[in-house]
């Protein structure tokens, strides 16, 4: 694995590390705005070769039928990543702008460990289930349910938690017997390209089974949804792009998995510890500069205690100053790019136009001339109809909204085109009752943690289709076949 300072990453196509047909493009450190190095820039011809390699590897080898071999290969990748974890940590902090503290969890070490779940699941999975003998239509028949790999998977991934999302697709897809073409976001190409190096140099994964295509051109990734040689597209990103992926995939009626946006609500009931709940809400909203689809970005609090809640959450978020992600105490690093910083700022400007005010934050930190930093910001004085309360901002921004009791809190939480996640704080019985009524895929009740390799993740409504992680996530990559054999 090349040193960070010398890195010029390659594509992985058919088992070989190669240059991109379009040359290379720069990858930038969002905390310093310095150019880190270059990534191979794939063109359409590169993607075509990658898809063809994945198709041949699925159709012409025994990868899809040799579960034991696949399990060994996935564990080899896990072990290779563990062996290079400090190099990967340096890369992740520099390219993603991820605070170093997060690399011990979902930004790096957690996803590496999660590969064990994919391998273990494939090792013990009931690939065939005997339904026994019956006489449908009077014919003695033995029925068997077979679970089989879908085929070629096109994976398109974002920049916010690249290791977590890349591996949440790669691990289950491979363990289930599929071949894959991975197209990461151009903002974080190295986080994917390094997997190509480790696979080529430290695993027995056959040529063509994994292909990694970095490109500055989004149209190259769109080829995966349109190409008839691809059987499934697994996409994580914005809801707007997800719609395009679904439309493109419809042309060949391929399976489309979508993990999309969120505008999740943090509900504080009137019997909750208000200061404790608000402290957690503020910490969560500022973590990794708010760049998480499941981060709760609407704080819904009792109207009678609205001012106290605004003050409490502003105390927490105001103390979490944007900082150097290499510093162990940093919670809020930079956003990923100048483009994203400007997008977040446009929403902050909109909040003022809509009649809101800032209890803390509101723009770029005065003490940072470089880096794509935004102050953790609390918006007060708006209701759930405001655009900053309805649209995904993807920055360290929390809007505080008043509710008039449990029913109203639930109504506000559900009054959203999204349904990815949510949090409830209150007495156990009331909080559980409210959680049950929220139209979301995951709910944190009084500080519970839902993120785990064995727990499915995904959302309702426009937050996506399907589930990632857990047994449900593994089975997203499988087809179901019924074999009926006549009994003589």
Instruction: Find out whether 380 and 343 touch, Cβ atoms under 8 Å.
Output: no
- How far apart (Å, rounded) are the C-alpha atoms in residues 226 and 256? 11
* The Cα angle at residue 446 between residues 444 and 451, in degrees rounded to 5: 30
- Smallest CA-to-CA distance from 46 within 224, 207, 209, 191 is with 224
Residue 297 DSSP SS3: strand
- How far apart (Å, rounded) are the C-alpha atoms in residues 133 and 6? 63
Q: Residue 94, Cβ neighbours under 10 Å: how many?
A: 24
Q: For 4, which DSSP code?
A: G
Q: Cite the DSSP H helix spans in 287-399.
A: 306-319, 338-353, 387-390
Token code pair at residue 271: 């019997």
Instruction: Find out whether 453 and 114 touch, Cβ atoms under 8 Å.
Output: yes
Token code pair at residue 285: 């909203």
Q: For 206, which DSSP code?
A: P
Set 259, 375, 475, 476: catalytic member? 259
Query: Per 3-state DSSP, what percentage of the chain is helix, strand, and coil (rounded to 5)?
Result: 40, 25, 35
Which residue in this structure is represented by tokens 């033995």?
142
- How far apart (Å, rounded) are the C-alpha atoms in residues 389 and 401? 8
Instruction: Find out whether 149 and 477 touch, Cβ atoms under 8 Å.
Output: yes
- How far apart (Å, rounded) are the C-alpha atoms in residues 78 and 376? 35
Positions of E strands within 361-477:
377-380, 397-403, 418-419, 421-425, 442-445, 460-461, 464-465
- Cβ-Cβ contacts under 8 Å for 112 (sequence gap 6 or more): 78, 81, 82, 85, 163, 167
The CA distances from residue 40 to 19, 170, 243, in Å, are 6, 20, 28
- Say if residue 36 is exposed, middle or buried (CB neighbours under 10 Å; 0-12, 13-18, 19+): middle
Residue 245 DSSP SS3: helix
Instruction: Give yes or no: 33 in active site.
Output: no
- How far apart (Å, rounded) are the C-alpha atoms in residues 173 and 152? 9
**Positions marked catalytic:** 259
């Amino acid at each position: 694995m090349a040193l960070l300072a010398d890195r010029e990453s390659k594509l992985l196509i058919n088992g070989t590390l190669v240059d991109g047909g379009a040359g290379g493009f720069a990858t930038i450190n969002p905390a310093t705005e310095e150019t880190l190095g270059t990534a191979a820039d794939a063109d359409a011809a590169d993607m075509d070769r990658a898809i063809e390699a994945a198709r041949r590897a699925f159709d012409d080898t025994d990868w899809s039928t040799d579960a034991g071999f696949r399990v060994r290969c996935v564990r080899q990748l896990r072990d290779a990543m563990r062996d290079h974890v400090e190099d990967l940590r340096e890369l992740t902090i520099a390219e993603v702008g991820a605070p170093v503290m997060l690399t011990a969890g979902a930004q790096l070490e957690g996803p590496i460990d999660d590969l064990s779940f994919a391998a273990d699941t494939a090792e013990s999975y009931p690939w065939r289930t005997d339904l026994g003998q019956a006489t449908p239509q009077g014919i003695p028949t033995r029925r068997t349910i077979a679970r089989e790999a879908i085929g070629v998977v096109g994976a398109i991934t974002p920049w916010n938690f690249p290791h977590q999302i890349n591996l949440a697709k790669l691990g289950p897809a491979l363990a289930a017997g599929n071949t894959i073409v991975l197209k990461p976001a151009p903002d974080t190409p190295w986080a994917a390209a390094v997997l190509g190096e480790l696979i080529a140099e430290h695993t027995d994964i056959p040529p063509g089974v994994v292909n990694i295509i970095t490109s500055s051109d989004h149209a190259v990734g769109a080829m995966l949804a349109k190409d008839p040689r691809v059987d499934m597209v697994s996409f994580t990103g914005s809801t707007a792009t997800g719609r395009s992926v679904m439309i493109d995939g419809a042309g060949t009626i391929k399976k489309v998995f979508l993990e999309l946006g969120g505008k999740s609500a943090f509900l504080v009931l009137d019997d909750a510890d208000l200061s404790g709940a608000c402290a957690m809400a503020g910490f969560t909203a500022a973590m990794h500069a708010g760049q998480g689809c499941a981060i709760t970005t609407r704080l819904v609090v009792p109207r009678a205690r609205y001012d106290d809640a605004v003050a409490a959450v502003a105390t927490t978020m105001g103390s979490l100053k944007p900082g150097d992600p290499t510093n162990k105490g940093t919670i809020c690093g930079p956003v990923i790019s100048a483009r994203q910083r400007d997008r977040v700022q446009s929403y902050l400007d909109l909040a003022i136009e809509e009649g809101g005010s800032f209890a803390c934050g509101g723009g770029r930190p005065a003490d940072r001339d470089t880096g794509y930093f935004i102050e953790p910001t609390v918006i007060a004085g708006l209701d759930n109809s405001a655009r900053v309360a309805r649209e995904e901002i993807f920055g360290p921004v929390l809007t505080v909204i008043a509710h008039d009791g449990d029913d109203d809190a639930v109504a506000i939480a559900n009054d959203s085109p999204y349904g990815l996640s949510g949090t409830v704080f209150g007495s156990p019985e009331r909080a559980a009752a409210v959680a049950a009524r929220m139209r979301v895929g995951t709910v944190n009740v009084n500080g519970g943690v839902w993120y785990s390799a064995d727990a499915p993740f995904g959302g309702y409504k426009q937050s996506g289709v399907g589930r990632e992680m857990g047994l449900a996530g593994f089975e997203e990559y499988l087809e179901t076949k019924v074999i009926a054999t006549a009994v003589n």
